[in-house]
Chains A and B, each alone.
Chain A
Amino acid sequence: DTAVSQTPKYLVTQMGNDKSIKCEQNLGHDTMYWYKQDSKKFLKIMFSYNNKELIINETVPNRFSPKSPDKAHLNLHINSLELGDSAVYFCASRQTANTGELFFGEGSRLTVL
């Protein structure tokens, strides 16, 4: 069983389209994150939820909207995709906001043409 699973693993789409990435964790963790990794492998935190409550909302265009229907799921919706949105998006979870390490999903590679 995969602890943190993301779908889809690959997305290729045109500029201006809307896309969603889904994330689920079966670890019973309270806290979930979205990170963006650019081509130089730099990791940038985007959002974090704790028990469905938004805790971290970094400087991210409002075209990006996270949604956490329950504490096991954190989805990311992106409107009006731009070339610069091309990246690998990682979901991660953590036992609580202050406890333990992050567990990462395998990533979703988004390519905007």
Chain B
Amino acid sequence: GNSVTQMEGPVTLSEEAFLTINCTYTATGYPSLFWYVQYPGEGLQLLLKATKADDKGSNKGFEATYRKETTSFHLEKGSVQVSDSAVYFCALSVPNTGNQFYFGTGTSLTVIP
């Protein structure tokens, strides 16, 4: 089946620290992969995406590379800021699975000054 396994949180980092949030997936077919961010009290926003193997998605200093050989899509940022405190969700979509969009359990990140 199709699923996403995401690193459990919560994660607490000091400002300017390096961030990695691990995400691995299982999928039938050729999935597209996504990272969403949810700031407190808000809906989910797309952070970045990759639609095929070896693609790198990037936005706001965050990056993730679609690794087919390790079935992974880890989120990284070189230097986090307090404003990055949020919940991060890894997600995948597989064509022809009847509208399904699979989310991980979310990882809460708190960045302290």
- Which residues in A have some Cβ–Cβ distance to B below 8 Å? 4, 31, 33, 40-43, 45, 48, 50, 55-56, 90, 92, 94, 97-98, 101-107
**Would you give the shortest CB distance from B9 to chain A, in whole angstroms?**
9
The CA-CA distance from A43 to B90 in the complex, in Å, is 11
**Would you give the shortest CB distance from A48 to chain B, in whole angstroms?**
4
The answer, yes or no, to whether B24 is at the interface (CB within 8 Å) is no
| Cross-chain contact B98 with A43 (CB below 8 angstroms) | no
Closest to B106 in A: A41
Can you report 9 A-B residue pairs in the complex whose CB atoms are below 8 A from each other?
A4-B43, A42-B105, A48-B99, A48-B100, A55-B98, A56-B98, A98-B96, A103-B46, A107-B43
Which secondary structure characterizes the binding site on chain B? strand
Residues in B with CB closer than 8 Å to A33 are 99, 101
| Cross-chain contact B106 with A56 (CB below 8 angstroms) | no
Residues in B with CB closer than 8 Å to A101 are 34, 46, 49, 93
The CA-CA distance from A56 to B60 in the complex, in Å, is 33
The answer, yes or no, to whether B69 is at the interface (CB within 8 Å) is no
**Would you give the shortest CB distance from A28 to chain B, in whole angstroms?**
17
Residues in B with CB closer than 8 Å to A45 are 100-101
| Cross-chain contact B99 with A97 (CB below 8 angstroms) | yes
The answer, yes or no, to whether B58 is at the interface (CB within 8 Å) is no
